[in-house]
């Protein structure tokens, strides 16, 4: 996260509606904003305006056109956590987001980190060792 983003978030945190859970982006009622709403109403339009965008593709991978035959542009990323395929370690994500503890990072974003479920490989290895 760049310094300008961090400063903007700090300013917003001071000005945003207060909520029971001390949320940065609560709904107008102070509740947790749904992920889909944040992405579709905030993140995607902001990325398109900022030029972090790509042509929208149809089911065959061909660029989509609008009714005036103009290229439809969409956000380059479709979620909140994008590391460019770098699969950043959780500790680096924690530092970049400014979380005070790795627990917070993992509680909130743990489901987004790559998982390597090696249970099938372990079972196969176990079968090969036990006749």
Distance of CA 120 to the CA centre of its chain: 29
* Burial (CB count within 10 angstroms: exposed 0-12, middle 13-18, buried 19+), residue 83: middle
Query: pLDDT tier at 82 (50, 70, 90 boundaries)?
Result: low
| pLDDT, mean over the chain | 82
**Closest listed residue to residue 22, CA positions, set 93, 43, 14, 111:** 14
Look at residue 6 and tell me whether its pLDDT is greater than 70.
Answer: yes
pLDDT (0 to 100) of residue 83: 47
Distance CA 88, CA 95 (A): 11
Closest-CA residue to 53 (of 123, 30, 63, 20): 63
How far apart CA 97 and CA 3 sit, in angstroms, is 11
How far, in Å, CA of 107 to CA of 102, rounded?
8
Token pair, residue 15, equals 């000005």
- Predicted confidence band at 9 (pLDDT cuts at 50, 70, 90)? confident
Least confident of 48-57, 69-78, 86-95: 86-95
- 86 pLDDT band, cuts 50/70/90, is low
DSSP 73: E
Q: Residue 119's pLDDT band (boundaries 50, 70, 90)?
A: confident
What pLDDT digit, counting tens, does each position of 19-43 carry?
A: 788 888 788 788 888 878 888 888 8
Confidence of residue 1 (pLDDT cuts 50, 70, 90): low
């Amino acid at each position: 996260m760049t310094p300008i983003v961090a400063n903007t978030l700090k300013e917003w945190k001071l000005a945003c509606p207060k909520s029971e859970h001390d949320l940065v982006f609560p709904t107008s009622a102070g509740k947790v904003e749904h992920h889909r709403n944040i992405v579709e109403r905030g993140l995607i339009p902001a990325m398109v305006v900022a030029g972090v965008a790509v042509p929208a593709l149809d089911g065959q991978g061909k660029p989509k056109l609008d009714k005036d035959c103009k290229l439809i542009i969409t956000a380059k990323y479709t979620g909140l956590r994008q590391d460019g395929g770098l699969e950043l370690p959780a500790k680096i994500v924690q530092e970049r987001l400014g979380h005070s503890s790795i627990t917070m990072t993992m509680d909130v974003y743990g489901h987004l980190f790559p998982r390597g479920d090696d249970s099938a490989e372990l079972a196969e290895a176990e079968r090969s060792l036990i006749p």
